[in-house]
Structure 1
Amino acid sequence: MEQQTAIDPARIMQVGMGFWASKTLLTAVKLNLFTLLGKGQQSTKQIKNQLGLQTTDRHVSDWLDTLVSLGFLNREGIFDSANYSNTPDTDLFLDKNKPSYIGGILQMANNRSYNIWSNLETALKTGKPQNEASAGNMELFQVLYQDPQKLQEFMDAMSGIQSGNFRALVNKFDFDRYKTMADLGGADAWLSIQVCLKHPNIQCINFDLGPVEPLANKKIAQFNLQERITHLTGDFMKDELPDAEVYTMGNILHGMDESIKQQLINKIYEKLPDKGVFIAIENIIDNERRQNTFGLLMSLNMLLENGDGFDYSFVDFEKWATKAGFKKVEIMPLTGPCSAAIAYK
């Protein structure tokens, strides 16, 4: 007799109520719990007092033990005798005092995205962005540029989410074959910094709008790379692109509609010298659109943020690059759901 697979609602409930677990982790990041525990093991009362929590000891234990059950904390003892510590991954990635910290993207998720995503149904019905700007494509940045704190938070978030991908790219792609690189929409110059740290002979240009220049120059100076990285103020859609053999873009193309994507790729192709290269670093969706869940969710995030932006598959990128004139395209897996789509002139 053929055995039937049991059907149960566990996965439906896990995903449907997933915001419970998400908010539990985001709150821990917001309150700097993992940074506190980066100093060493702490008891429940120590955590409660140092974080200024006013709820009952029982509810503090509930919160901490939920993080234990999710695999984000270690615990010895229980209740009054409990002592908590970071797991290896939260200690590496969520302690603000470590250079590997990626909590910026989670801070932004807690402060912005959590509320924006509650309006997904409105975005699907209207096709309109649901962020602070609630206006056209990329208008979010005009709002961020008016608030230095929010802009810094956004830059930290982008650096955090891209750090692993940038390091993977500089280890996998042979930048030593080229003398110059320009990162278009380079924000705080994090990609240029990673390239220069790994490849000693390349000169980089960080190309972005004026409001991010102080943030970029500050970060470049932190790594003593002022002689090798120049921040150039400009708008890659309106202004002439700087001369370079390699153009890179990290999480930029997905914020645009298809016609603007094609216009920008055309512009890059025309400016590149022979044998020049264009690299787009994004959550490239698998061609069958079945596996890269994060890439698909990011595409929905572009609806919420920009209205008409969307993430894309390698087949999409190949179509646009070929139409622009590029001779060869390839995809280079980086970390997790992220890849580099590479086009060669």
Structure 2
Amino acid sequence: MSQYPPKWDIFDKLADSPYPAFAFLAGVKLDVFTPLANGPQTPAELATVLDIDAEKLTPLLYALVVAGVLKVDGTRFSNTPESDHFLVKGREGYIGNLCEAYEERWRWVLNTAKTIRTGKPQSEHDYAAMSGTERDAFFRDLHPNALETGCTLVERLGLAD
């Protein structure tokens, strides 16, 4: 016999699922990962380096721990191996520039219902309107992700031999 009323859990899960991604985006925009490449820091130390309010930064740092891109030991936060490799400015694997594309994509997705209702795209990406420099930067920012995807496919499909 099915439960009545049905459980609400699925809706809570769906409603909460964007928050780790949004915390990730905020962390990249604030560049919290680059100073942590020098070692663990307290929220106050990190806030001083970033010139922001430690009280406002602290909840974000814990959200980034929950998202899996930071670690915490006592009151000191540090990068995970993934964030240290991909989210520290100046490193070869840096993908922080992709966050602009993620943010834009998420904005597009928020218009899905309106697009379906009107039958017309509500969020268009006009590559033709971009300058050559903007277009080059856009595609250059896709390179680290494309490279990682290619390596993953080679491994999964056994093409390395």
TMscore range, shorter length: 0.7 to 0.9
Change in Cα spacing, 1:47 to 1:164, as seen in structure 2 (3 Å) is same
Pick the aligned partner of 1:61 from 58, 63, 67. Answer: 58
Identify which of 147, 155, 178 aligns with 2:139: 155
Structure 1 runs (4+) greater than 4 angstroms displaced: none
Answer whether contact 2:61 2:70 (CA < 8 A) is retained: yes
**One-letter amino acid of the structure 1 residue matched with residue 127 of structure 2:** F
* Distance of aligned partners of 1:50 and 1:100 in 2 relative to their CA distance in 1, 3 Å threshold: same
What's the TM-score, normalizing by structure 2? Answer: 0.78
Give the whole-Å Cα distance in 1 for the aligned partners of 2:31 and 2:137: 15
Contact 1:35 1:94 in 2 (8 A): yes
Q: In the aligned structure 1, how far is the partner of 2:51 from the partner of 2:68?
A: 24
Structure 2, unaligned runs of 5 or more: none
Structure (1 or 2) with the greater strand fraction: 1
Q: What SS does the corresponding residue of 2:71 show, helix, strand or coil?
A: strand
Secondary structure of 1:103 counterpart = coil
Structure-to-structure mapping, 1:11-90, within 5 angstroms: 11-54=10-53, 57-77=54-74, 82-90=75-83
Identity %, equivalent residues: 23
The 2-side partners of 1:166 and 1:127 are apart by: 35
Tell me what 2:129 maps to: 143
Q: Is residue 101 of structure 1 aligned with residue 94 of structure 2?
A: yes
Secondary structure of 1:42 counterpart:
coil
Deviation at 1:106, TM superposition (A): 2.4
Residue aligning to 2:107: 115
What does 1:1-345 correspond to in 2, within 5 Å? Answer: 8-54=7-53, 57-77=54-74, 82-110=75-103, 112-131=104-123, 134=124, 140-144=126-130, 146=131, 148=133, 150-168=134-152, 171=154, 333=157
**3-state secondary structure, aligned to 2:97:** helix
C-alpha displacement of 1:98: 2.2
Q: Give how far 1:76 is off.
A: 1.7
Q: 1-side partners of 2:7 and 2:55: how far apart?
A: 32
Structure-2 change in CA distance of 1:13 and 1:140 (3 Å):
same
RMSD, aligned CA: 2.7
Q: Which has the higher helix share?
A: 2
TM-score (norm 1): 0.40
Distance in 2 (CA, whole Å) between partners of 1:9 and 1:333 is: 39
| Structure with greater contact order relative to length (CA < 8 Å, sep ≥ 6) | 2
Greater C-alpha Rg: 1
Query: How far did 1:97 drift?
Result: 2.5
Q: Conserved in 2, the CA contact under 8 Å of 1:68 and 1:75?
A: yes
> Equivalents in 2 of 1:152, 1:43: separation in Å?
38
